[in-house]
Structure 1
Amino acid sequence: MSATDLLVRRLRGTVLPAVATPMDGRGVVDFAALRGYAAHIAGQPVGGVAVWAHTGRGLYLSEEDRGRVLAVWRSAVDGPIVAGVGVPRSVRAGRPRDAVDATVAMAVRAAEGGADAVMVYPSALLAGDEDAAVALHEEAAAASGLPVLGFFLHGEAGGYPYPPRLVGRLLGLPSAAGLKLATLDRAMACQDAIRAAQPTGKLVVTGEDRMFGPSLMWGADSALVGIAAARVPLTTAVLDAWSAGDHTAFVRASARLDAFAEVTFLDPIEGYVQRMLWAAVWEGAVPEAAAHDPYGPDLPDAERRAVVDCLERLAKEPDTPR
């Protein structure tokens, strides 16, 4: 069995949190806090973790910090680690070739640090050029020796839509383990991509924090989501209930997760990283001093109160219907 086939088998039906990166008020990574957070997440019902993803501000970190972050997670987590790879903010990619080279170099670093797969950020410089997008994934896989996940990322986070034909071509690559979807609120685009991915037999990975339950109903079979950066059981309960065919439990779990998503994934959408860090503080996974996102917008205190009020309300409800 190839490494790609093995990864598909291990990840199908599981949740991978797109983990946050604890930082202080100056934007310096707090590695002591990170080690505690990693131990906390590792003790949750996860299939692995995703590092260097949007939630973890992977493209903003220095190369040294990215390596140290990956090392912490590698020592904490037994399951697969998927590393997001793309164009770091420290690199000014003015040409498509520059974007490809930076992404491939990051994939190589991920392999050297012990990652099990890479999730390839789409580069807007390649939008409309399907051959170039396919070649990017081929180069990242060849240089790193790792399976790849395609990443259909919404434009608000720097991505661009993958048409169904491109989805099929990407998942036709021997190195492709699956497709991660993060269309934000574009139901038709999400459905079309899932329909294109399903015949390939590869992973259909939902990253649809605001359409999590529906994306499973449309055909997603695993998850890699920022909403699981805190309160992991809220997310896993939905996927587990759907996989088990327990529709009563699924509807209830999905409603609970939706309530949390409504107060964390909303405009301004880039604020979700800070909101998830607030949630991590509430559950004791991250200390207050390390719960800063220097790359997102300033948010009013009322938004933090909404997050905390939601979590306290959910905590008072029984985990299963009486």
Structure 2
Amino acid sequence: MAFLNGLSAFPITPSDRNGVVDTEALRKLIARLCAAEVDSIGLLGSTGTYMYLSREQRRRALAAALEETQGRRAVVAGVGALRTDEAIRLAQDAKSLGAAAGLLAAVSYAPLSEDEVFEHFSAVARESRLPIVIYDNPGTTHFRFSPALVARLAHVAGIVAIKNPTDKPEEIEAHLAGQRSTTPQDFSIGYSGDWNATEAIICGADTWYSVLAGIMPDICLRIVRAAQQGDMAEARRLDGLLVPIWDLFKEFSSLRTVYAIADIIGVCTGEPPRPILPLPDPAKAKIATRLSLLERNLALHDAMSPMA
């Protein structure tokens, strides 16, 4: 089995306007994920606003999360930075604190070449000795990993997995097969992009790296378990119930939406780091309505299930 598999839940990182992490709120989020028994936790990802936090605050968040998990769940920590030496230090911090792996994106102000990205990732893996997950996030970094670059990096010691974007669901199967053919057998291939991730899991991806699971893990976990058990129809039915939520993600962005969800369901209150603004009240009302609809539809779905 691959090093990372199943559902990896990515929570927000609650903090104040000065960028100081609210560890009590973060612990509540982590406790929910542990109670739901997600397969791993992705801390300090894009939803965790890692690029808006100082090294000190990243350490503070990771230490609190790891203390809350008490080893019950693997924690993958974002270690991306503009400079290679800074990313190395962040990865070393993550390893010393007990993270299972580091999530590394090709973050840059100036456009990077494939050779530059290869050297960046190789150096972080080599110098930190922390297992590294490739984070292909072209919507944010404006760098897309080519099949050839993924194949090169997958054979570097210490680079163990990839978090792929999902652009078109009809292309996932071929994309996954292509990566499988050029990477080691134990290299974990996963996908983000929540509204297409069910199809990725059905196609045989190892991991769903999920934003929604960071705040609403239960239904996401049900989708993954259904797919793992071969019940593709159930996985798709559950995913269908989430279409109104996926539409919110597309309309408002997943980051802004999950901050609003956390507030609406009473898990924690907080605002995304500036200059990102919280959603206005009409948008929050729309999200609250969709959540109520989801709750009703899920109850109806379960009532009609043969297992009910």
TM-score over 0.5 for the pair: yes
Which residue does 1:238 correspond to in 2?
A: 223
Q: Provide the C-alpha distance between the structure 1 equivalents of 2:250 and 2:18, rounded to a whole number of angstroms.
A: 25
1:163 aligns with 2:142: no
State the one-letter code of the partner of 2:241.
R
Compared CA separation, residues 111 and 189, structure 1 to 2 (3 A): farther
Which residue does 2:95 correspond to in 1?
A: 111
Structure 1 residue 298 displacement after superposition? 4.7
Structure 1 residue 26 displacement after superposition? 5.7
How much identity, in percent, do the aligned residues show?
A: 23
Asked if the contact 2:213/2:220 (under 8 Å) is kept, the reply is yes
State the one-letter code of the partner of 1:222.
T
1:71 aligns with 2:63: yes
Which whole-Å deviations, capped at 9, do the CAs of 1:89-124 have from their partners, x for residues lacking one? xxxx5xxxxx22222221111112211111111134
- The match for 1:33 among 5, 25, 39 is 25
Alignment of 1:1-322 (within 5 A): 8-9=2-3, 11-12=4-5, 14-24=6-16, 27-77=19-69, 78-87=72-81, 93=82, 99-124=83-108, 129-155=113-139, 157-183=140-166, 185-186=167-168, 193-199=175-181, 200=183, 201=185, 202-263=187-248, 265-269=249-253, 272-286=254-268, 288=269, 291-295=270-274, 296-316=276-296, 317-318=298-299, 320=302, 321-322=304-305
Which whole-Å deviations, capped at 9, do the CAs of 1:249-290 have from their partners, x for residues lacking one? 112111123332211x22453xx223102212333321x3xx
State the one-letter code of the partner of 2:213.
A
What SS does the aligned partner of 2:127 have? helix
State the one-letter code of the partner of 2:153.
L
* TM-score, normalised relative to structure 1: 0.83
Structure 1 residue 64 displacement after superposition? 1.4
Compared CA separation, residues 84 and 27, structure 1 to 2 (3 A): closer
State the one-letter code of the partner of 1:293.
P
State the one-letter code of the partner of 2:67.
S
Asked if the contact 1:180/1:205 (under 8 Å) is kept, the reply is yes
Which residue does 1:96 correspond to in 2?
A: none
Compared CA separation, residues 100 and 193, structure 1 to 2 (3 A): farther
State the one-letter code of the partner of 1:51.
L
Compared CA separation, residues 52 and 231, structure 1 to 2 (3 A): same
Structure 1 residue 54 displacement after superposition? 0.6
Which residue does 1:90 correspond to in 2?
A: none
Structure 1 residue 203 displacement after superposition? 1.0
Compared CA separation, residues 102 and 40, structure 1 to 2 (3 A): same
Structure 1 residue 125 displacement after superposition? 5.8
Asked if the contact 2:10/2:42 (under 8 Å) is kept, the reply is yes
Q: CA RMSD in A?
A: 2.3
* TM-score, normalised relative to structure 2: 0.87
State the one-letter code of the partner of 2:283.
E
